[in-house]
């Protein structure tokens, strides 16, 4: 066992749930990133299976449609040896009028060990966590938080750049509706990055300076000298009314093309949490460019979620 692996094994993550990145300390974040870094390397080897969660049950409870996140958690759980159940809410009793608390009580009676929850309402995952005896992981609640996305993004940045502290990260696009943006701002600030936000005024929250980042309504200025340019999806399904005049105009001013990217540092990396709207928030030529680490984000998603499952499982009592 190497010194790095030994260090990861001896550290501890003293939390029962992962509902938000807010409140996580630098050492706790690095513990998860170091653990995920190890899993990322091991996932590239032939033997990918572990028995960390052998005998444990993981339920993926998604009240919103998801491809990447749900598949990522399913693969993470299976690679750690868990019994994984994906609960399809569209065909469940929720559609028949069952409340969230009823669902929580029902699932708790099945005695799962970990539940991964995605819900369209902010705060719903925390409410559910109060009604169950197992560990709960927030896979996205409304426009509030998406902690594992922030962790996988940080892991991707650290593997590409060797560090996070001191880097300038420009997060551009639909800040108002983005749980990804909120989680990333908190986590990256905690790790010492300089965070910039770029969006039209209609897609910025009230008092955006409270988020702890520099705020720009001119994307050209926001990406100037940036080490990382992180694009966000235009979340039209969360919009009530018109927030942008047209998709064409939005792309002209806030879509990432090679002209805007040229303002960033020559070795800047491009990120996107997916799914991408090509020609809306990012040009295909940029998404597929060598500077893009979007595919790496998908790969790191499995490793980061394995780390979270592993860390929380260490605190589970034997039942």
Binding site as annotated, residues for L-aspartate: 96, 179, 233
Length of the chain: 319
Q: Which long-range contacts (CB under 8 A, 24 or more apart) does 263-268 make?
A: 263/220, 263/223, 263/224, 263/225, 263/226, 264/170, 264/223, 264/224, 264/225, 264/226, 264/227, 264/229, 265/225, 265/226, 265/227, 267/227, 267/291, 268/223, 268/226, 268/227, 268/228, 268/229
Residues tagged in the binding site annotation? 68-69, 96, 118, 146, 149, 179, 233, 274-275
Contact criterion met (CB below 8 Å) for 313 and 12: no
Alpha helices in the chain (DSSP H): 3-10, 26-42, 68-79, 100-109, 124-129, 147-161, 179-190, 219-222, 247-254, 258-261, 284-287, 294-313
- Residue 188, Cβ neighbours under 10 Å: how many? 26
Residues tagged in the binding site annotation for carbamoyl phosphate? 68-69, 118, 146, 149, 274-275
Angstrom distances, CA of residue 292 to CA of 14, 127, 133, 228, 285? 35, 37, 41, 10, 10
Contact criterion met (CB below 8 Å) for 282 and 276: yes
Residue whose C-alpha is closest to residue 287's, from 255, 263, 265, 246: 255
In the chain, what is the straight-line distance between the N-terminal and C-terminal CA atoms, in Å? Answer: 30
């Amino acid at each position: 066992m190497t010194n790095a692996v030994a260090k990861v094994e001896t550290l501890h993550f003293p939390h029962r749930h992962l509902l938000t990145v807010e409140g996580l300390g630098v050492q706790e974040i690095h513990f998860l990133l170091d653990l995920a870094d190890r899993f990322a390397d091991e996932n590239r080897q032939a033997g990918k299976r572990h028995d960390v969660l052998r005998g444990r049950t993981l339920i993926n409870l998604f009240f919103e449609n998801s491809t990447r996140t749900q598949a990522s958690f399913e693969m993470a759980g299976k690679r750690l040896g868990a019994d994984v159940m994906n609960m399809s809410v569209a065909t469940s009793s929720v559609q028949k009028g069952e409340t969230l608390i009823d669902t929580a009580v029902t699932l708790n009676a099945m005695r799962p060990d970990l539940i991964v929850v995605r819900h369209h309402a902010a705060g719903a995952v925390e409410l559910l966590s109060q009604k169950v005896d197992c560990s709960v992981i927030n896979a996205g609640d409304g426009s509030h938080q998406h902690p594992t996305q922030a962790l996988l993004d940080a892991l991707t940045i650290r593997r590409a750049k060797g560090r996070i502290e001191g880097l300038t990260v420009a997060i551009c696009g639909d800040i108002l509706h983005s749980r990804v943006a909120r989680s990333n701002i908190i986590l990256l600030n905690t790790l010492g990055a300089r965070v910039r936000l770029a969006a039209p005024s209609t897609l910025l929250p009230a008092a955006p300076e409270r988020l702890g980042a520099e705020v720009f309504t001119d994307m050209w200025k926001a990406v100037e000298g940036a080490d990382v340019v992180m694009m966000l999806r235009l979340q039209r399904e969360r919009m009530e009314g018109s927030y942008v005049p047209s998709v064409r105009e939005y792309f002209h001013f806030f879509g990432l093309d090679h002209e805007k990217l040229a303002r960033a540092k020559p070795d800047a990396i491009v990120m996107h949490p997916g799914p991408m709207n090509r020609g809306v928030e990012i040009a295909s030529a940029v998404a597929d460019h060598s500077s893009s680490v979007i595919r790496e984000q998908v790969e790191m998603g499995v490793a980061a979620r394995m780390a979270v499952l592993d860390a929380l499982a260490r605190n589970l009592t034997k039942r």
